[in-house]
Amino acid sequence: MRSNVASFTVVCVLVASVSRVVAQTPDLTTLSLEELLNVEITSVSRKEETLLRTAAAVYVITEDDIRRSGATTLPDLFRMVPGLSVAQLNANTWSVTARGFGGTHANKLLVLIDGRSTYAPLNGGVNWEMQLLPLDAVAQVEVIRGPGGSLWGTNAINGVINIITKTAHQSPGARVATHASRYEPGTVDFSYGGRFGTSGAHVTQGRYFQRQSSGLTSGRANGDDLDAAYARTRLDWGAQADTFSFQADLLRSTGSRVHSEARLSPPYRTVEETGVESTAGNALFAWKRSARGRTESSVQLFYSGLARAELAERAHTADLDVRQRRRLGARHDLVAGVGYRSILGTVSPGPSLVIRPGRVHEHLMTAFLQDEVAIADALRVSAGGRVERSSETGIAVQPTVRGLWAVSPRQSVWGAVSRAVRVPNRFERGMFILLSAGAGPAGLPLAVTLEGSRDTKPEILTEYEAGYRVLWRTVSIDLAAFIGAYDDLASHTPAAPGIGEVFGARAFRVPLVAANEAFGTSRGVEVAGAWKPMPWWQVAGSYSTYDVDFGSRTGSAAESVPINGPVPGHLLHLRGSIDLTGGFGAGALFYRASTIEELQIPVVNRLDLRLTWTRGSVVLGAGAQNLLHAESVEYADRTARVLPSPVRVNPYVDVSWRF
């Protein structure tokens, strides 16, 4: 590790020294550190506030960070966020989570796009292979680590990622871009925006994305190729008091997937390749009204539809969110809202996976209230909560209390106590999976099954957080620490074995049944820093440590295994970028994740390099990802259904032209 970090630092320092000699007209378009800490965010309190005055562990990925990263996928972009564990299983499958509990269906992190949930009702996670929003369309990403359920609702138990796209007014003219790499030979993006009426603007964007199959450690192809077409449009109009926005997108993808399936006859496990087809669409309308700076009202309505060939899954979600912010006197800042969500989902049985019932229609009603009180000019305390009633899981209450003390204009201290809830998904309540099989007694096959239960309850987290932010002229530091107590964790508990029917055949069945017998205590520290000695040279980094202890009401933690998987206990991230003379720019990113012993995943060291050249409206880029290893495995699926592929060196070139 020391040699890798040292090499990265030496490269940054050497290049910076050269650039100081040759740079004559440095690029001053990037934000200063003070401007970065005063960037306005909305995800923490559902209202605009500056990062320096936010009582939460928040990290903002700016448009400039996106441009310099060279990332082509959202998960790769998130690697720079402190406390966020990102691991790639294969070309189309990721584990993205905050503060523990990873996996292919990591379900304790709520991901939003302009406030629209990307939550998958079937598995409770995010289908990352279907999130193909072009990164050029993103204005900034606000990442909250820690509970966000008091304002955003259930499933925001360990964090919230809100991806905020550019308005149509911010996307004028035309842009064409293409990207080619070892595993993504053909990616093409286009965008065209213009004006209409006296205050309106429109933008239409599209993407064709092609990803080749990666290889398994055995050398055979993994069958995880993907061809996808994506299109979106956005309209923004209105002025002064009332503003309106409408956006819609459509995705169509085809590909294949290799997965490991247990069978009740020898050899008891087979590796199979199946076709994967998906169609998804979203539509969102938002209205916002501001009245003399004292009252702000908003209404947002969205619809999401999904059709996947796997299990013949169909999902339809309609959501209404009404919010109002009102300032009362000189000290109270009140935010309140109500909402309703309808989720209709259907699935069909598969050869080794059944979900019952096949059709579910869930109704969710919500209400939240938060009041921020200015006790003094430098001291603010906010308290509030959210109440939700689900037709499937009942009532959930999620309160929070937060406080912030502005020690000086350039430093602040904050603390928070929050309660968050995650409701069971359809897998946990109705799955029947053949996990493994072998020779059993009396000539019958032995079948180990994972089984859902309608008796599963919501998971509960009570978390205590504290943080400190400080800004000097060229250096900023952001520190957060937390300790959390989990109760009623989703787990699999052994049930009584016996002879029964498993997928139409008699077998000696050993069931593992979904329950809430596990509990745990997590703790960690997250440190992020940035150094910007010159407008054209910046270095940033973060380090986070995480630990969790589990227990079981059955008396043995080994008999009640939490469903979600482990994550690295230590994460390190360093990145640097330099603007050189003649339109050239260079950047480097180093990422290190410690070993995951439970999954037999070794230490992951990753180094990405990127070089760009800008000439007018044309930008040429070239670089390489994963330079430190010929191949490395970053994560593994506990159920062994998803086969991991090694991440390999990935050189690439890209070009964009705006006109």
Phi, psi of 329 (to 5 degrees): 65, -155
Whole-number average pLDDT of the chain = 89
- 3-state percent helix, strand, coil for the chain, nearest multiple of 5: 10, 60, 30
Residue whose C-alpha is closest to residue 429's, from 390, 486, 484: 390
* Predicted pLDDT at 223: 66
- For the cut 50, the answer to whether the pLDDT of residue 11 exceeds it is no
Is 80 exceeded by the pLDDT of residue 555?
no
User: How many CA atoms within 13 Å lie on the side-chain side of 534?
Assistant: 18
pLDDT at residue 498 in the model: 93
CATH superfamily of 2-261+284-658: TonB-dependent receptor, beta-barrel domain (2.40.170.20)
Overall pTM surpassing 0.75 (yes/no): yes
pLDDT in tens, 389-448: 999 889 999 999 999 999 999 999 999 999 999 999 998 999 999 989 999 998 899 999
Interatomic CA distance for residues 434 and 418, integer angstroms: 38
pLDDT greater than 50 at residue 259: yes
What per-residue confidence (pLDDT) applies to 115? 93
What distance in Å separates the CA atoms of residue 464 and residue 117, rounded to the nearest whole number?
26
Cα gap 624→646, rounded to integer Å: 16
Does residue 31 carry a pLDDT above 80? no
- Element containing residue 549 per DSSP (H, E): strand 537-552
Q: Please state the rounded mean pLDDT for residues 181-204.
A: 93
Dist CA 89 CA 105 (whole Å): 12
Q: And the tokens for 499?
A: 């002879």
pLDDT the model gives residue 14 = 33
Residue 342, H or E segment: strand 332-346
Top mean-pLDDT range of 45-49, 110-114, 209-213, 225-229: 110-114
CA pair distance 353, 535, nearest whole angstrom: 56
Helices then strands, each counted (H, E), the chain = 6, 38
- Looking at residue 391, its pLDDT comes to 92
Kindly list the distances between the CA atom of residue 247 and the CA atoms of 236, 284, 303, in Å, as whole numbers in the listed order: 9, 5, 11
- Band of the pLDDT at 49, cuts 50, 70, 90? confident
Q: Give yes or no for residue 507 having a pLDDT over 60.
A: yes
Over 60: is that where the pLDDT of 56 sits? yes
Q: Where are the alpha helices (DSSP H) in 233-367?
A: none
- Give the residue carrying structure tokens 């991806």: 163
Give residue-wise pLDDT tens across range 295-318: 999 999 999 999 998 888 999 999
Using pLDDT thresholds of 50, 70 and 90, give the confidence band for residue 240. Answer: confident
Instruction: Quickly state the pLDDT bin for 645 (edges 50, 70, 90).
Output: confident
Is residue 555 within 8 Å of residue 573, measured between CB atoms?
A: no
Residue 224 has a pLDDT of 75
State the DSSP string of 92-125: TEEEEEESS-BSTT--SEEEEETTEE---TTTSS
User: What is the amino acid identity at position 314?
Assistant: R
The mean per-residue pLDDT over the stretch 376-400 comes to 94
Confidence (pLDDT) at 19: 37
- Return the closest-CA partner of residue 42 out of 114, 130, 131: 114
More confident residue, 403 or 16: 403
How many whole angstroms separate alpha carbon 210 and alpha carbon 181? 10
pLDDT at 578 over 90: yes
Q: Give the C-alpha separation, 591 to 69, whole Å.
A: 13
Query: Where do the structural domains in the chain lie, given as residue ranges?
Result: 2-261+284-658
pLDDT value for 211: 84
Q: How many CB atoms lie within 10 A of CB 455?
A: 11
Under 8 Å between Cβ of 591 and 79: yes
Model pLDDT for residues 333-356, shown as the tens digit of each residue: 999 999 999 999 999 998 888 999
324, containing H or E segment: strand 313-328
Confidence band, pLDDT 50/70/90 cuts, at residue 52: confident
> Which of 160-174, 479-493, 543-557 shows the lowest per-residue confidence on average (mean pLDDT)?
543-557
Band the pLDDT of 138: cuts 50, 70, 90: very high
At 47, give phi and psi (nearest 5°). -155, 165
Q: Are strands 159-165 and 411-422 parallel, antiparallel or unpaired?
A: unpaired
Highest mean pLDDT among 14-18, 19-23, 80-84, 413-417: 413-417
